[in-house]
Structure formats: structure tokens, C-alpha cells
Amino acid sequence: MVPEMRVHSCPKQRAMVQSKTWVLARHFEGFPEDSNFELKLEQQPEPKDGEVLLEALFLSVDPYMRPFSRLRMKEGGVMIGTQVAKVIQSNNSAFPIGCHVVGRCGWRTHTVSDGTGLTRLLSDWPQEVPMSLALGAIGMPGLTALYGLEEVLGLQAGDTLLVNAAAGAVGSTVGQIAKIKGCRLVGSTGSDAKVAFLKELGFDEAFNYITVSSLEEALKSASPDGYHCFFENVGGPFCSVAIPQMKEFGRIALCGGISTYNETIPQTGPYPHLTMIFKQLKMEGFLVGRWEHKNQEALRRLMAWKREGKLQCREHVTQGFENMPAAFMGMLQGENIGKAIVRVSIEAI
Ligand code: NDP
């Protein structure tokens, strides 16, 4: 659905734009529900000197929004999030009319910004590559995969790597980069269609963690000698079962814990201490923003792999700004293969 851009005349005869926004009506308790969200209209002011008016083309729905909502958002505030947007009015020479940016604008169709938190798309973004990938494999999730593998795990050719939530935005990129680097790859995911997708991507082994009779047996049979590296996206019982499958001196990149994000009562043990001590494992949590200074170079590498056909960038696209909450909740339930995004503008088709 195309967002309406209503233009009103105010007493000073300036064009005013009304933005659609999704606000957090009340904090999530457990799994999100429709009633947590409210669609509102927000009058955008005329851009002042140094400011631009943005129109959203694609918005991202990401797991971090669930835990960050508690930390970063107040009830009644606009949902946090990133979008690919077009500059449609500009008083800022760094962002001329017509250029495209990735912006932390929240769940809004239109935004007046002073440029804070805006990044222009790579200057030579190829026409044949969808701009929505700037929210996925050639954006934050792709960078997460790359930095987790290179900076945290120090992945080496010949390593056996385990990744969970493997068919998602981060996981599917992790797997493909690990293949490029000459690793043996095992992926866990939540449906048979996703397992088939992982095989298409070149995973050596893939299994459906929901239908296997024993997760421990599935991990053992996928790699009887254990794992050098584990790219951890899920947390909870999966992590408890996976850690004992690590080789001695194994490395674990703690990227996410999506199985815990909607809990009302925190999970408890088993605790990994003895296994980690006796196997002398290394586990490191990380946030993608730590290596922001490397982003331009890293995005160029991801783009090069995409253009060389080494990086498949599947997307799960929901149409229409009105469907943001449904897209978000669907992603948390595992509906997506690849990156979950929402397309809002007709221009984005
Ligand atoms: P995905 O595209 O992977 O989508 C989320 C997926 O999580 C779902 O498709 C589903 O896949 C899986 N999932 C949902 N609930 C559960 C559950 N209870 N148990 C196991 N799997 C579940 O999301 P992203 O690629 O964007 O994010 C993946 C992980 O990376 C998340 O934990 C996220 O928080 C983290 N992350 C961390 C960053 C950092 O800087 N540290 C940056 C970006 C992401 P399936 O059907 O396979 O279960």
C-alpha cells in the first residue's frame, strides 16, 4: 500500500507533510500483540537550514527491537528502527534531493532530519541491486555476520562452524561468508523449507531443530568431531546443548538470544561453567556498532560478493506500512526466510 503524503496549507502557506507512524502504545509483556502498537499521524515541520525531508521506501523489522524497546523506548514513543529513504526536500548539501539514505528514523513514512543517524547509500550502488539490501546482507545484518566471523571468531579455512537461526538475515549471510572462507558449515533452522534453502546456499549439513528427536544427536551427527566455532543467535536450551559439542579451545560469538527475547520469566541453567573450563572455550558477546569505522570497506566487500554471485540475498517482503506490526511479529515467529523487510512506497517496487 502506498503511504499517502498529505500536504496542507498552514497559515504561513508552507507545505506541511503528515507522516504515518507506529507508536509503542504499551510495553510488550511476553510475545508482542496488536494492542502493543498504535498507528498515528504526525505532522512534520518544514525542514529548516541543515535539515531534510525523507520519504521511506523500505523499513526493517529486526529482533533487537523487542529487547531494545524496554531499554530505549517509552510508551507513546515511535517504534525504533531503520529504513531506506529518499530525500524529497533538502536544506543540507550533504543529502541533496533524490539521494537515498539509510536512516534511524523509526517506524515513520516521512521524517524531518538534521542528518544525525543518516548514512548515504554507497555512492556506486548498482542499479540492478535492490536498495532494500541496505537493510539486509549489504547493511547491518551483513556487517553483523562479517564482523562476528572475522573480528570475534577469527574464522580460519578448515574450521567447522555451527550457526543457528541460520536461514535468517544474519545466519544466511554468516553461512555464505563462511563458505567463501573455506569452512565446513552446519546450520540449524525452524522449518523444512528453511533447511532446503540452507542446502541451496551450500551448507554442508542443515537440520530442523523443531522436528529432530534429539538436538544433541543432530549436532553430533552433523559434526561427529565437534565444532571449532559457534555463531550463536538463539540462546536458551539450544546454547546449553551446543556448548558441550564444541572442540577444545572452541570459539563462540554471542550475537543474539532470540529464544529469550519474549520471556516473562528468565530461563535458568544448565550453566556452562564446567564445560567451558574443561574445554577451555572462549565466548564473546558483541554489538555490530563496535566496528562502525570499518563499515564502508566492509559494505564494499559484501557488495562485491553479491555482484560476483557468491552472496544470495533472499528477502521476505511485507507490503504496506500498515502491516509493520504483523511483519515484526511474523519475523519473531520465524515466518521469514532471509531478511524481513516492509516495502512502503510504489517507487520501491
Ligand atoms: P532473523 O532474520 O534470523 O529472524 C529471526 C529468526 O529467529 C526467525 O526467523 C526464527 O528462525 C528465529 N527464531 C525465532 N524465535 C526463535 C526461538 N524461540 N528459537 C530459535 N529460533 C527462533 O533475524 P536476524 O538475522 O536479524 O537476527 C538474528 C540474531 O542476531 C538475533 O538474535 C538478533 O538479535 C541478533 N543480532 C545481533 C546483532 C548484534 O550486533 N549483536 C545485530 C543484528 C542481529 P527459525 O525458523 O530458524 O527458528
294-331 pLDDT per residue, tens: 999 999 999 999 999 999 999 999 999 999 999 999 99
Q: Is residue 89 pLDDT above 90, yes or no? A: yes
pLDDT recorded at residue 11: 42
Distance 234 CA to ligand 1 centre (A): 6
Q: Is residue 85 pLDDT above 70, yes or no? A: yes
Q: Is residue 55 pLDDT above 50, yes or no? A: yes
Could you tell me where the beta strands, DSSP code E, fall in the chain? Answer: 6-9, 15-24, 37-44, 52-60, 83-90, 100-103, 110-113, 118-120, 160-163, 184-189, 205-208, 227-232, 246-254, 282-285, 315-319, 339-343
- CA dist., res. 258 & res. 255, Å (int): 10
pLDDT recorded at residue 8: 41
- The stretch 51-67 carries a mean pLDDT of 98
Instruction: Write out pLDDT tens, residues 98-133.
Output: 999 999 999 999 999 999 999 999 888 999 999 999
Smallest CA separation from ligand 1 atom 47, residue: 189
Q: Is residue 67 pLDDT above 50, yes or no? A: yes
Task: Look at 3-12, 33-42, 59-68, 201-210 and tell me which has the smallest mean pLDDT.
Answer: 3-12
Distance 247 CA to ligand 1 centre (A): 24
- When the pLDDT of each residue in the chain is averaged and rounded to a whole number, the result is 94
Which residues surround ligand 1 with Cβ inside 6 Å? 62-64, 141, 144, 165, 167-171, 189-191, 194, 233-234, 255-259, 286-288, 331-332, 334, 336, 340
Instruction: Write out pLDDT tens, residues 222-262.
Output: 999 999 999 999 999 999 999 999 999 999 999 999 999 99
Identity of the amino acid at 339: K
Distance 165 CA to ligand 1 centre (A): 5
Q: Is residue 171 pLDDT above 90, yes or no? A: yes
Q: Is residue 3 pLDDT above 60, yes or no? A: no
Smallest CA separation from ligand 1 atom 36, residue: 256
Distance 32 CA to ligand 1 centre (A): 15
